[in-house]
Structure 1
Amino acid sequence: MKKTSNKQQTTIKVGFITISDRAARGEYEDIGGPAMQTWINNALLSPYEIATTIIEDEQTLIERTMIDFADNQNCNLILTTGGTGPTTRDVTPEATHAVCERIFDGFAEQMRAVSLRTVPTAILSRQTAGTRGKSLIINLPGKPEAIAVCLGAIFLAVPKCLELLDNSNIQIDLDFVEKNFG
């Protein structure tokens, strides 16, 4: 039996943004976007809507897309995958910092701390998180395994953050999330 939180459900909107030059051009199958969606589908018990897109690693495009998802599409939670590494094309954190009013360092610290337990190069990952209006934006790595580790490390804080931002009351599968907690 699934253990759930006890608040009345709220329908939220989750935005999934894949940031990859090759996937955007159709040269590479997007595996990060579906990995995020599968994880969220397993974790959320409340009804939710989705918005998805695949875009190239261009800072202005990433910024415009995040702004659109937050301001126009009214996504409560925006998850990105890709563009968090050390190369010059990896500009997702810069775009996130440019569009967010507040940065929440704890999300990034926890994701890296948990990832470092199994991947020594996780120290190179630059994912971050912040808020724009009533939207929580979280950058995730590009590999499905790393996405699962990072979401497991931080997701228990997401419902409370959304509640504080816009009074959302989402139910999560606590058994799934706790089982996947780093």
Structure 2
Amino acid sequence: MAMARIGVLTVSDRASRGEYEDRGGPAIVAWLEAALTVPWQAVCRVVPDERPVIEAALVALCDVEACALVVTTGGTGPAPRDVTPDATEAVCERTMPGFGELMRRESLRQVPTAILSRQTAGIRGRSLIVNLPGRPAAIAMTLDAVFPAIPYCLDLIGAARLETDPARCAAFRPAGA
């Protein structure tokens, strides 16, 4: 089995300038380390909240780095500089709105302002891009909610096969898949 590559893209003006420690990207990597049971490699990037830069990073992670999964953190709110979902939709051939719907539903259990989130997901070639929130606790909560569907989605688009530790995250695949 080939080693899966997973892109982790932190979108933050301050973190990209070194003024703020990136906690979102490391939180994603830690969650994946606990959940995945197959060999995988994280391809991490930190970029500012600039739509062309985010789009270029997403394209590079999908097309050049051949990441089966690209997980972003940050830039999903309603503020003018929160453009991660816009960049994601611009580079994807198809959107996967169910991911954002489920993440918002789970987040609403914790905080009423979750309705302000514009998290989304989409497919670019053989890559799935998923936008997560920026806070580490919210990252874990949303990954817990959506990750059970991610391995099968990757199967369907011809990407790397991911297996999970069922005690941490039980991935769902239909019988025979």
Q: Which category describes the TM-score, using the shorter chain as reference length?
A: over 0.9
Question: Which deviations, in whole Å up to 9, do the C-alpha atoms of 1:62-103 show, x marking residues without a partner?
Answer: 000000000010000000000001100000000000000000
Q: Percent identity of the aligned residues?
A: 52
Aligned: 1:107 with 2:79 = no
Pairwise CA distance, 1:10: 4.8
Call closer, same or farther: CA 1:73–1:120 in 2, change over 3 Å: same
Matched residue type, 2:124: R
Pairwise CA distance, 1:175: 1.2
Cα distance in 2 between the residues matched to 1:145 and 1:161? 24
Q: Is the partner of 1:115 in helix, strand or coil?
A: helix
Q: Kindly report the root-mean-square deviation, in angstroms, between the aligned alpha carbons of the 2 structures.
A: 1.0
Pairwise CA distance, 1:135: 0.2
Pairwise CA distance, 1:177: 1.5
Aligned to 2:20: 28
Aligned to 2:145: 153
Aligned to 1:5: none
Aligned to 2:155: 163
Cα distance in 2 between the residues matched to 1:93 and 1:141? 11
Q: Is the partner of 1:156 in helix, strand or coil?
A: helix
Cα distance in 2 between the residues matched to 1:37 and 1:58? 23
Cα distance in 2 between the residues matched to 1:116 and 1:105? 17
Q: Is the partner of 1:13 in helix, strand or coil?
A: strand
Q: Does the CA-based 8 Å contact 2:5-2:67 persist in structure 1? A: yes
Aligned to 1:62: 54
Matched residue type, 2:142: C
Matched residue type, 2:87: A
Question: Which deviations, in whole Å up to 9, do the C-alpha atoms of 1:30-66 show, x marking residues without a partner?
Answer: 0001000000111100000121111000000000000
Aligned to 2:175: none
Q: Does the CA-based 8 Å contact 1:10-1:46 persist in structure 2? A: no
Question: Which deviations, in whole Å up to 9, do the C-alpha atoms of 1:118-166 show, x marking residues without a partner?
Answer: 1111111111000000000000000000000110010000000111111
The structure with higher relative contact order (CA 8 Å, sep 6+) is 1
Call closer, same or farther: CA 1:167–1:87 in 2, change over 3 Å: closer
Find the partner of 2:34 among 42, 56, 70. Answer: 42
Q: Is the partner of 2:6 in helix, strand or coil?
A: strand
Q: Is the partner of 1:90 in helix, strand or coil?
A: coil
Call closer, same or farther: CA 1:55–1:167 in 2, change over 3 Å: closer
Call closer, same or farther: CA 1:126–1:167 in 2, change over 3 Å: closer
Matched length: 170
Cα distance in 1 between the residues matched to 2:121 and 2:161? 20
Q: Does the CA-based 8 Å contact 2:127-2:159 persist in structure 1? A: no
Find the partner of 1:73 among 65, 74, 78. Answer: 65
